[in-house]
A and B are shown apart, each in its own frame.
Chain A
Amino acid sequence: MCGIVGIAGIADEALVRRMADTIVHRGPDGEGYFVGDGVSLGARRLSIIDLVSSNQPIWNEDRTVVTVFNGEIYNYQELRRALEKKGHILKTAGDTEVLVHLYEEYGEAGVHLLRGMFAYAIWDARRRRLMLVRDRLGIKPLYYLEHDGRLVFGSEIKAILAAAEEPRELDRDALDLYLTLQYVPGPRTLLRAIRKLQPGCLLVWQDGQTTVRQYWDIVLVEGDRKATEESAEEEFGVLLEESVRLHRISDVPIGVLLSGGIDSSAVTGLLARCGERLKTFTVGFEAGQEVNEINEARIVARHFGSDHHEVVMGPSLADVLPRIVGFQDEPVADPAAVPTYFICQFAARWVKVLLSGEGGDELLGGYPRYRWLDLSERIRRRAWARGMGGALRGALGTLLPQGRVATRLRTLLSSAPLGHRHLEWVAALDERLKGRLLHGTDHNDGPSGGAALLVQELLASVGMEDAIPGLMYVDFKTWLPDDILAKTDRMSMAVSVEARVPLLDHRLVEFVASLPHQVKIRNFGTKRLLRRSMRDILPLETLQRPKQAFRVPLAAWLAGPLRELLWDTLTDSTARQRGLFSTSGVAALLAEQANGTHDHSRALWSLLCLELWMRQFLDATPPAHH
Chain B
Amino acid sequence: MRLLLLTIDFPPARGGVQHLLARLADGLAQEHDVSVLTHCHPQAREWDRLRPYRVLRSRVVGVRSLDLVWLGLRALVEILRLRPDVIICGHVLLGPVCDLAQRQFRIPYIAMAYAYEVRAPRMRGIAGFTLRRARQVVTISKFSRQAVMAYGIPGTRVTVIRPGPGVNGDVDLDPSAPDHSGGSGGRMLLSVSRLADRYKGHDMVIRALPLIRAKVPDTRYVLVGDGWLRPYLERLAASVGVRDAVTFTGEVSEAELDAWYRRCDVFILASRESASGGGSEGFGIVFVEANLRGKPVIGGRSGGIPDAVLEGVTGLLVDPLDVGEIADAAVQLLTEPSLAARLGAQGQQRAQDELSWRNYVSRFDQVVKSMVGTWDSRGGK
Q: How far is the CA of A215 from the CA of B211 in the complex (A)?
A: 11
Q: How far is the CA of A225 from the CA of B198 in the complex (A)?
A: 13
Q: Is the CB of B276 within 8 A of A234?
A: yes
Q: Is the CB of B276 within 8 A of A230?
A: yes
One digit per residue, 1 when the CB lies within 8 angstroms of any chain A CB and 0 when it does not, for chain B 206-243 equals 01101101110000000000001001100110111100
Q: How far is the CA of A317 from the CA of B211 in the complex (A)?
A: 50
Q: How far is the CA of A219 from the CA of B231 in the complex (A)?
A: 10
Contact of A109 among B198, B214, B276 (CB under 8 A): B214
Closest to A82 in B: B324
| Interface status of B121 (Cβ within 8 A of chain A) | yes
Closest to A218 in B: B239
Kindly list chain B residues whose C-beta atoms are within 8 Å of the C-beta of A234: 275-277
Q: How far is the CA of A514 from the CA of B214 in the complex (A)?
A: 26
Say whether, besides A108-B214, A112-B240, A215-B241, A222 and B277 are in contact (CB < 8 Å): no
Q: Is the CB of B211 within 8 A of A231?
A: no
| Interface status of B99 (Cβ within 8 A of chain A) | no
Interface size on A, residues (CB 8 A): 29
Kindly list chain A residues whose C-beta atoms are within 8 Å of the C-beta of B198: 514
Kindly list chain B residues whose C-beta atoms are within 8 Å of the C-beta of A507: 321
Kindly list chain A residues whose C-beta atoms are within 8 Å of the C-beta of B207: 112
| Interface status of A216 (Cβ within 8 A of chain B) | yes
User: Closest CB of chain A to B238's CB: distance in Å?
Assistant: 8
| Interface status of A228 (Cβ within 8 A of chain B) | yes
Contact of B275 among A108, A218, A231 (CB under 8 A): A231
User: Closest CB of chain B to A217's CB: distance in Å?
Assistant: 4
Kindly list chain B residues whose C-beta atoms are within 8 Å of the C-beta of A222: 231-232
- Once A and B bind, how many residue pairs between them come within 8 Å at the CB atom? 65
Say whether, besides A213-B241, A231-B279, A234-B276, A109 and B211 are in contact (CB < 8 Å): yes
| Interface status of A107 (Cβ within 8 A of chain B) | yes
| Interface status of B323 (Cβ within 8 A of chain A) | yes
Within 8 A of B (CB), among A442-490: none
SS of B interface (majority)? helix
User: Closest CB of chain B to A58's CB: distance in Å?
Assistant: 21
| Interface status of A238 (Cβ within 8 A of chain B) | yes
Say whether, besides A215-B241, A222-B232, A109 and B274 are in contact (CB < 8 Å): no
Kindly list chain B residues whose C-beta atoms are within 8 Å of the C-beta of A107: 214
Kindly list chain B residues whose C-beta atoms are within 8 Å of the C-beta of A110: 211, 214
Q: Is the CB of B276 within 8 A of A219?
A: no
Say whether, besides A213-B241, A222-B231, A235-B274, A113 and B211 are in contact (CB < 8 Å): yes
| Interface status of B203 (Cβ within 8 A of chain A) | yes
One digit per residue, 1 when the CB lies within 8 angstroms of any chain B CB and 0 when it does not, for chain A 1-42 equals 000000000000000000000000000000000000000000
Kindly list chain A residues whose C-beta atoms are within 8 Å of the C-beta of B214: 105-110
Q: Is the CB of B241 within 8 A of A231?
A: no
Q: Is the CB of B275 within 8 A of A109?
A: no
User: Closest CB of chain B to A202's CB: distance in Å?
Assistant: 10
Q: How far is the CA of A249 from the CA of B138 in the complex (A)?
A: 47
Q: How far is the CA of A108 from the CA of B214 in the complex (A)?
A: 8
Closest to B324 in A: A113
Kindly list chain A residues whose C-beta atoms are within 8 Å of the C-beta of B277: 228, 230-231, 234
User: Closest CB of chain A to B282's CB: distance in Å?
Assistant: 17
Q: Is the CB of A106 within 8 A of B241?
A: no
Kindly list chain B residues whose C-beta atoms are within 8 Å of the C-beta of A106: 211, 214-215
Kindly list chain B residues whose C-beta atoms are within 8 Å of the C-beta of A409: none
Contact of B235 among A79, A219, A230, A238 (CB under 8 A): A219
User: Closest CB of chain A to B120's CB: distance in Å?
Assistant: 10
One digit per residue, 1 when the CB lies within 8 angstroms of any chain A CB and 0 when it does not, for chain B 176-218 equals 0000000000000000000000100001000110110111000
Say whether, besides A107-B214, A228-B277, A235-B274, A113 and B239 are in contact (CB < 8 Å): no
Q: How far is the CA of A217 from the CA of B235 in the complex (A)?
A: 9
Q: How far is the CA of A511 from the CA of B203 in the complex (A)?
A: 11
| Interface status of A441 (Cβ within 8 A of chain B) | no
Q: How far is the CA of A215 from the CA of B323 in the complex (A)?
A: 15
Contact of A219 among B208, B210, B211, B232 (CB under 8 A): B232
Q: How far is the CA of A238 from the CA of B236 in the complex (A)?
A: 23
Within 8 A of A (CB), among B291-341: 321, 323-324, 328
Q: How far is the CA of A108 from the CA of B352 in the complex (A)?
A: 43
Q: Is the CB of B210 within 8 A of A235?
A: no
User: Closest CB of chain B to A47's CB: distance in Å?
Assistant: 27
Q: How far is the CA of A79 from the CA of B211 in the complex (A)?
A: 14
User: Closest CB of chain A to B298's CB: distance in Å?
Assistant: 17
Closest to A231 in B: B277
Say whether, besides A82-B324, A230-B121, A514 and B211 are in contact (CB < 8 Å): no
| Interface status of A214 (Cβ within 8 A of chain B) | yes
| Interface status of A163 (Cβ within 8 A of chain B) | no
| Interface status of A221 (Cβ within 8 A of chain B) | yes
Within 8 A of B (CB), among A89-124: 105-110, 112-113
User: Closest CB of chain B to A459's CB: distance in Å?
Assistant: 15
User: Closest CB of chain B to A406's CB: distance in Å?
Assistant: 39
Q: Is the CB of B232 within 8 A of A238?
A: no
Q: Is the CB of B213 within 8 A of A109?
A: yes
Q: How far is the CA of A222 from the CA of B234 in the complex (A)?
A: 13
Closest to B228 in A: A225
Q: How far is the CA of A106 from the CA of B210 in the complex (A)?
A: 9
Q: How far is the CA of A225 from the CA of B232 in the complex (A)?
A: 12
Kindly list chain B residues whose C-beta atoms are within 8 Å of the C-beta of A218: 239
Say whether, besides A109-B214, A235-B274, A216 and B240 are in contact (CB < 8 Å): yes
Kindly list chain B residues whose C-beta atoms are within 8 Å of the C-beta of A221: 232
Q: Is the CB of A231 within 8 A of B232?
A: no
Q: How far is the CA of A221 from the CA of B230 in the complex (A)?
A: 10
Q: Is the CB of B276 within 8 A of A231?
A: yes
Kindly list chain A residues whose C-beta atoms are within 8 Å of the C-beta of B276: 230-231, 234-235
Contact of A217 among B239, B275, B323 (CB under 8 A): B239
One digit per residue, 1 when the CB lies within 8 angstroms of any chain B CB and 0 when it does not, for chain A 191-207 equals 00000000000000000
Q: Is the CB of B239 within 8 A of A235?
A: no
User: Closest CB of chain B to A625's CB: distance in Å?
Assistant: 38
Kindly list chain A residues whose C-beta atoms are within 8 Å of the C-beta of B241: 213-215
One digit per residue, 1 when the CB lies within 8 angstroms of any chain A CB and 0 when it does not, for chain B 100-129 equals 000000000000000000000100000000
User: Closest CB of chain A to B266's CB: distance in Å?
Assistant: 19
User: Closest CB of chain A to B208's CB: distance in Å?
Assistant: 8
Contact of B239 among A213, A219, A238 (CB under 8 A): A219
Say whether, besides A112-B323, A231-B274, A514 and B210 are in contact (CB < 8 Å): no
Kindly list chain A residues whose C-beta atoms are within 8 Å of the C-beta of B240: 112, 215-217
Kindly list chain A residues whose C-beta atoms are within 8 Å of the C-beta of B324: 79, 82, 113
Q: Is the CB of A514 within 8 A of B274?
A: no
Q: How far is the CA of A219 from the CA of B202 in the complex (A)?
A: 14
Closest to A232 in B: B277
Q: How far is the CA of A357 from the CA of B135 in the complex (A)?
A: 55
Q: How far is the CA of A230 from the CA of B121 in the complex (A)?
A: 10
Q: How far is the CA of A154 from the CA of B198 in the complex (A)?
A: 40
Kindly list chain B residues whose C-beta atoms are within 8 Å of the C-beta of A214: 239, 241
19 additional A-B pairs beyond A235-B275, A514-B198, beta carbons within 8 Å, are A82-B324, A106-B214, A106-B215, A108-B214, A109-B210, A109-B213, A110-B211, A112-B323, A113-B323, A213-B241, A215-B240, A215-B241, A217-B239, A228-B277, A230-B276, A231-B279, A234-B276, A238-B275, A507-B321
Q: List the 9 shortest-distance A-B pairs measured between CB atoms, nearest first.
A: A231-B277, A109-B214, A217-B239, A235-B275, A106-B214, A234-B276, A109-B210, A231-B276, A238-B275
Provide a sorted-by-A list of 5 A–B residue pairs whose CB atoms are within 8 angstroms.
A214-B241, A222-B232, A230-B277, A231-B279, A235-B276
B contact residues vs A (CB 8 Å cutoff): 121, 198, 203, 207-208, 210-211, 213-215, 228, 231-232, 235-236, 238-241, 274-277, 279, 321, 323-324, 328
A contact residues vs B (CB 8 Å cutoff): 79, 82, 105-110, 112-113, 213-219, 221-222, 225, 228, 230-231, 234-235, 238, 507, 510, 514
